[in-house]
């Protein structure tokens, strides 16, 4: 198949690439091929400029100053929250809690919801394809609250075994926490179906959307999820900022996460009254520049359009899958029918780490390892995989370069 | 092919990767030490059989990348029959060679055949792969009771 005829005529990937300064860089004298988007995405110039501009011209603390700069910063901070509310289609900006990332968002739910409402013997149902960040917080809760962790198995394609899910969804389950898109396999899980089934039994559902929000349209009201967690830096935004969406009625009955400034209404040594949502969960000076930068990232991604992004990435995935399967000895790990543009594979006798080094010298950045999903590696009986994770600024030619470089790996290992 | 890559993955290294020497558990081993790189999953056990102060036999098993596996394999051939003191001295020389700055000279005479690993220093992310078995071996000789890890 000819690469160029695959591309939609309205989709100008070269023009999009111009928006990303880092994509213009070279490594070892070769143009960078950045295929580690599941780890973190590159940032468009407009996001970098927004953050620079904030520190250069607008920096002040929010919610306190009675001077012009502080008022401006507060306004921009609030406006970013509103943009993110619209981006995931939440019904209120009070439901958007700023945290450091998806990891902290899940920990917040485990600590605030879990510690208050889950008790000994209750079960939290997760899946075999969770990132460590959706396993360990629940194990920690198991230690303090005596809850039990149950796990939905996956089949050889890396898909959830839904009939097993139905069986595991017993009356003991008090929370379901499931990844929307697997970072190690690319599987897009049927979260809507999972949420419907859980709600049928009155069980709330947390969705880990870290790998989803930059690649597919997310509507938390349509999904009807109770919590949705994601990171800014996988969404073209800065590191250190992320979002926990939570339904207002749940967030309201949860105790605060951390104590400090901003999360209170009044403090005396005898009694403290907590602030309203979302501030109740945002103690201390927040990552103001990060929030504003994330607001710009979300605007940028909307200007391109998630439907178009998803359509293009699906073409890249189809082309990439075909191309890589032509590489002798390559075995794809994660062959779900519904996938995001993640190509995780093993190649003959070559260890992922060696593949990573050889590709790196060709200017190709991929991830080699267990992808913080060691149970997935154990399930497929591999120590590690090589993972190319694509974004809408990647090209068909870059996939060709990856396939070519993999043939060099075979040369070294023959 | 990229010259640095050819330099790193020389034939002898690939040969040790494909057919690692002393690649089996050791019955009657006095010491078994375990080394682990949590970043990439490389995981080896090094078995040591001492006779007085001399390494009578040494072997390894486990799984890892070509660099870690071949380094472990070459280590076992280099250390068999060596005294504890010589093994420690060779360990120090190998670590020095692996972690030196690229333009820093080293004396290949001090490490013998292991000088084939000299190019690893050009790949900073791979130094831990090449040194994993060596640190594990040292734990075998001078136990602290801890699992050897590249991340401490």
Same domain, A196 and A288: yes
Contact residues on chain A for B39, CB-CB shorter than 8 A = 369
Range of the domain at A56: 49-303
Same domain, A345 and A210: no
The alpha-helical segments, DSSP class H, found in A155-285 are 162-168, 191-200, 220-223, 248-253
Contact residues on chain B for A357, CB-CB shorter than 8 A = 5, 8, 123, 125-126
* Rounded Cα gap, residues A382 and A370, in angstroms: 9
Among B2, B40, B125, select the one facing A384 at the smallest CB separation.
B40
Same domain, A284 and A334: no
The pLDDT value given to residue B151:
67
Interface of chain A toward chain B, CB-CB under 8 angstroms: 28, 349-354, 357-358, 361-362, 368-370, 377, 383-384, 408, 411-413
* First-residue to last-residue Cα distance in chain A: 28
Tokens of B103: 């333009």
pLDDT beyond 70 at A74: yes
Q: Are A161 and A125 in contact (CB under 8 A)?
A: no
Same domain, A147 and A254: yes
Closest residue in chain B to residue A362, using alpha carbons only: B2
**What residue ranges of chain B have pLDDT lower than 70?**
151-152
* A38 part of a folded domain: no
The pLDDT value given to residue A57:
96
Q: Cβ separation of A354 and B66 shorter than 8 Å?
A: yes
Chain A closest-CA separation from residue B83 CA (Å): 33
* Rounded Cα gap, residues A396 and B144, in angstroms: 52
The whole-number average pLDDT for the span A132-149 is: 97
Given A280, A303, A326, the domain boundary residue is: A303
* Rounded Cα gap, residues B59 and A264, in angstroms: 62
Q: Cβ separation of A408 and B5 shorter than 8 Å?
A: yes
* A36 part of a folded domain: no
Residue-averaged pLDDT of chain B: 92
* Rounded Cα gap, residues A54 and A262, in angstroms: 21
Same domain, A228 and A317: no
Among A28, A358, A368, select the one facing B40 at the smallest CB separation.
A368
pLDDT tens string A331-361: 999 999 999 999 999 999 999 999 999 999 9
Give the number of beta-carbon pairs within 8 Å between A and B: 56
User: Is B113 buried (19+), middle (13-18) or exposed (0-12) by CB count in 10 A?
Assistant: exposed
Q: Cβ separation of A369 and B40 shorter than 8 Å?
A: yes
Same domain, A288 and A376: no
Which residues have a Cβ under 8 Å from the Cβ of B59 and sit 6 or more positions away? B22, B23, B24, B25, B26, B29, B46, B47, B76
Same domain, A273 and A384: no
Residue-averaged pLDDT of chain A: 96
pLDDT tens string A228-254: 999 999 999 999 999 999 999 999 999
* Rounded Cα gap, residues A54 and A159, in angstroms: 44
* A122 part of a folded domain: yes
Among B2, B18, B40, select the one facing A353 at the smallest CB separation.
B40
Given A279, A303, A327, the domain boundary residue is: A303
Share of chain B above pLDDT 90, in %: 78
Best CA proximity match to A51, nearest among A262, A231, A297: A297
* A92 part of a folded domain: yes
pLDDT tens string A40-71: 999 999 999 999 999 999 999 998 778 999 99
Which residues have a Cβ under 8 Å from the Cβ of A285 and sit 6 or more positions away? A61, A62, A261, A262
* A83 part of a folded domain: yes
Task: Give the helix/strand (H/E) hosting A126.
Answer: strand A123-127
Among A351, A408, A413, select the one facing B1 at the smallest CB separation.
A408
CATH 3.40.50.1820 assigned to domain B3-146? The reply is no
Q: Cβ separation of A383 and B43 shorter than 8 Å?
A: yes
Q: Assess B124–A contact: CB distance below 8 Å, yes or no.
A: no
Chain A closest-CA separation from residue B17 CA (Å): 9
Q: Assess B62–A contact: CB distance below 8 Å, yes or no.
A: no
* Rounded Cα gap, residues B24 and A259, in angstroms: 55
Q: Cβ separation of A357 and B5 shorter than 8 Å?
A: yes
Same domain, A83 and A9: no
Q: Cβ separation of A369 and B41 shorter than 8 Å?
A: yes
Contact residues on chain B for A382, CB-CB shorter than 8 A = none
A5 pLDDT band, cuts 50/70/90, is very low
Q: Cβ separation of B2 and A362 shorter than 8 Å?
A: yes
Sketch the domain layout of chain B as residue ranges. Answer: 3-146
CATH number, domain containing residue A293: 3.40.640.10
Same domain, A175 and A277: yes
> Bridge-partner residues for B44, per DSSP?
B35, B62
The pLDDT value given to residue A19:
98
* A343 part of a folded domain: yes
pLDDT beyond 50 at A285: yes
A3 pLDDT band, cuts 50/70/90, is very low
Q: Are A336 and A156 in contact (CB under 8 A)?
A: no
The label of the residue with tokens 């103690």 reads A283
Q: Cβ separation of B126 and A370 shorter than 8 Å?
A: no
* A44 part of a folded domain: no
A2 pLDDT band, cuts 50/70/90, is very low
The label of the residue with tokens 């993999």 reads A406
Given A275, A303, A331, the domain boundary residue is: A303
Q: Is A408 helix (H, G, I), strand (E, B) or coil?
A: helix
pLDDT tens string A11-33: 999 999 999 999 999 999 999 99
Per the annotation, the verdict on A68 as an active-site residue is no
Same domain, A116 and A93: yes
The pLDDT value given to residue B7:
87
| Total-model pTM | 0.94
Chain A closest-CA separation from residue B55 CA (Å): 31
Q: How many domains does chain A have?
A: 2
Same domain, A263 and A333: no
pLDDT tens string A310-335: 999 999 999 999 999 999 999 999 99
The pLDDT value given to residue A110:
98
Q: Which residue has the higher pLDDT, A313 or A261?
A: A313
* A222 part of a folded domain: yes
Q: Assess B95–A contact: CB distance below 8 Å, yes or no.
A: no
What ipTM, to 2 d.p.? 0.89
């Amino acid at each position: 198949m000819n690469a160029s005829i695959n591309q939609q005529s309205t989709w100008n990937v070269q023009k999009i690439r111009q928006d990303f300064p880092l994509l213009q860089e070279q490594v070892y004298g070769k143009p960078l091929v950045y295929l580690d988007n599941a780890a973190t995405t590159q940032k468009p110039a407009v996001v970098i400029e927004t953050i620079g501009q904030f520190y250069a011209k607008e920096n002040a603390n929010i919610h306190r100053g009675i001077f012009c700069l502080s008022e401006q910063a507060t306004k921009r901070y609030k406006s970013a929250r509103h943009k993110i509310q619209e981006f995931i289609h939440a019904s209120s900006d009070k439901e958007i809690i700023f945290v450091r990332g998806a990891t902290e968002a899940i920990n917040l739910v485990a600590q605030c919801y879990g510690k208050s409402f889950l008790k000994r013997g209750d079960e939290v149902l997760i899946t075999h394809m969770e990132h460590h960040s959706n396993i360990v917080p629940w194990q920690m809760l198991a230690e303090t609250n005596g809850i039990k962790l149950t796990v939905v198995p996956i089949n050889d394609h890396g898909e959830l075994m839904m009939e097993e899910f139905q069986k595991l969804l017993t009356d003991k389950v008090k929370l379901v926490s499931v990844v929307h898109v697997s970072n190690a396999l690319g599987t897009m899980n049927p979260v809507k179906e999972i949420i419907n089934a859980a709600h049928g039994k009155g069980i709330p559902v947390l969705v880990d959307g870290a790998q989803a929000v930059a690649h597919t349209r997310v509507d938390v009201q349509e999904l009807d999820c109770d919590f949705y967690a994601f990171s800014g830096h996988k969404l073209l935004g800065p590191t250190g900022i992320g979002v926990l969406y939570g339904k207002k009625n749940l967030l309201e009955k949860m105790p605060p996460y951390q104590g400090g400034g901003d999360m209170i209404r009044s403090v005396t040594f005898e009694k403290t009254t907590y602030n309203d949502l979302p501030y109740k969960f945002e103690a201390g000076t927040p990552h103001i520049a990060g929030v504003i930068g994330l607001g710009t990232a979300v605007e940028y991604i909307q200007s391109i359009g998630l439907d178009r992004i998803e359509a293009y990435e699906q073409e890249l995935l189809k082309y990439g899958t075909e191309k890589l399967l032509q590489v002798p000895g390559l075995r794809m790990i994660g062959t779900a029918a519904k996938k995001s543009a993640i190509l995780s594979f093993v190649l003959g006798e070559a260890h992922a780490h060696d593949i990573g080094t050889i590709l790196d010298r060709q200017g190709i950045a991929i991830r080699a390892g267990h992808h913080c999903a060691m149970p997935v590696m154990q399930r497929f009986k591999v120590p590690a995989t090589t993972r190319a994770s694509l974004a809408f600024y990647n090209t068909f030619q870059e996939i060709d370069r990856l396939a070519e470089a993999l043939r060099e790996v075979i040369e070294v290992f023959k | 092919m990229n010259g640095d890559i050819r330099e790193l993955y020389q034939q002898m290294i690939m040969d040790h990767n494909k057919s690692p020497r002393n690649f089996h558990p050791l019955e009657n081993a006095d010491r078994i030490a375990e080394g682990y790189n949590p970043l990439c999953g490389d995981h080896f056990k090094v078995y040591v059989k001492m006779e007085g102060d001399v390494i009578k036999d040494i072997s390894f098993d486990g799984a890892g990348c070509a660099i870690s596996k071949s380094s472990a394999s070459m280590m076992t051939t280099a250390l068999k029959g060596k005294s504890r003191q010589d093994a420690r001295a060779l360990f120090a020389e190998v670590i020095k060679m692996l972690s030196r700055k690229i333009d820093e000279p080293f004396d290949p005479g001090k490490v013998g055949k292991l000088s084939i690993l000299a190019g690893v220093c050009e790949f900073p992310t791979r130094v831990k792969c090449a040194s994993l078995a060596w640190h594990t071996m040292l734990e075998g000789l001078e136990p602290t009771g801890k699992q050897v890890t590249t991340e401490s």
